[in-house]
Amino acid sequence: MLSFGEALAYATKQAMEHDARVFAYGEGINDPGGFFGSTAGLKEAFSEARCFDVPNSEDALMGFGIGASLMGYRPLFVNLRVEFLMLAMNQLVNHAARLPAMSGYQYTIPLTVRAIVGKSWGQAAQHSSALHSMFANIPDLQVVVPSSVEDAPRLLLASILSDAPTVFIEIKSLYDCKALVHLPIEPLPLGKAHVVRQGSDITCVAISDMVGFAQRVSEQLVADGIEAEVLDLRSLAPLDSAAILNSVSKTKRLAVFDIGWEPFGLAAEVARIVSTSAYHRLDAPLLSIARRHEHTPASCFLEEQHYANEEHAANSIRALVRG
């Protein structure tokens, strides 16, 4: 049994053992806690030459990773929070994402950037944003959103092995989970969604910890004779549009479970995919399940109201299916 953090640490260690070009760096990466356990033991195994702490300067750190990538290395930049990437957007968007295309793809940027969404433990507005939709809008920038202990190390290893710059977005709530992880880690192909629950009445497209949320909601619906299919996208860029359409062609109904805000979010992109397909039509309006469009409050009581509620989601699906 491994925790979410331990599984990520194992995947990182495996990548570093198999390829001397892989190294890890980040703010507080070698602290005793090892970034919630996800980098624990790396410094001891590979020395500070390949796992080292750095000053707080996200723009410079991203540029360092880009430069190392151009020199043939495979850097893993462990960035504490998604919001901190705002301080490095010029490097990430204008350089990491665009240099390959601007060079006629003569250069690659095999840089993986880990960032965490501080959901559900009083992290407030500046430590709990989910900005995946913004990153996924950038061409040639991969965005990975693991939903489980089993998938996270396999997706991280795939990200490290990829030649494209990748933003690997974790969510703090998953760090409390443990599961059996098959060793050694086998990478999962990016851009391949996974049906985690079969169903025939409605398709539930979900990412990150909203996959587990959708599964729990689906179990509540069984007593009502409603069988929901839950689709874990695993990554947003590349996005498995075919898996979405295949499921919708069977269920004719669709709900989207997002960890971010609703406007301009995942539901909008899924709606675009389905509505622009000449062969798929819904029998009911699309249902969007997401957090409130407001800055995350610090109060645990207000925070609970900020995020989606399972009972409300289940009732919304019942109303949608029953017409």
Enzyme catalytic residues: 127
CA distance 111 to 65: 6
Task: Please tell me the distance from the alpha carbon of residue 146 to that of residue 144, in angstroms, as a whole number.
Answer: 6
DSSP class per residue in 16-38 = HHH-TTEEEEETTTTSTTTTTTT
> Token match 């030649």: residue?
163
Q: What angle do CA 136, 138, 143 make, to 5 degrees?
A: 35
Number of H helices, E strands in the chain: 12, 14
SS3 assignment, position 140: coil
**Pair 45, 13: CB distance under 8 Å:** yes
HSE on the CB side for 221, CA within 13 Å?
A: 30
CB 219 within 8 A of CB 313: no
Task: Report the residue count for the chain.
Answer: 323
